[in-house]
Amino acid sequence: MANNKTTGSKAATAASKTLQSNSTGAKSKTAAASTLSQTGAPKKQTSAPAASAASKVLQDGRTSAQSKTAAASALAQAKGKKK
């Protein structure tokens, strides 16, 4: 079943700030880019590599709240695993 979620304004703002930050790591930027690309695009879903990066961002204790917001949005829009 398709995931029809889109990025909300709070997550889009967090993703934008994450991408603009010089101190943000590559995984955070990957998740943020995925989040921004899905703004207003309900049929787009987070790719497996971007979902993996987002998962690692959420598990990293050094990650900022903005990056975690963007990563959570990316994961929420990831394609579910088949049973």
For residue 20, the model assigns a pLDDT of: 95
- 27-52 burial code (b ≥16 CB/10 A, e <16): bbbbbbbbbbbbbeeeebbbeeebbb
Note the residue count of the chain.
83
Token reading at 25: 């790591």
Would you say 74 and 35 are in contact if contact means Cβ atoms under 8 Å apart?
yes
pLDDT in the model for residue 4: 79
| Amino acid, single-letter form, for residue 28 | S
pTM strictly above 0.75: yes
Domain ranges of the chain: 9-76
The C-alpha atoms of residue 55 and residue 70 are separated, in whole angstroms, by 11
Model confidence over 16-58: pLDDT tens digits? Answer: 999 999 999 999 999 999 999 988 888 889 999 999 999 999 9
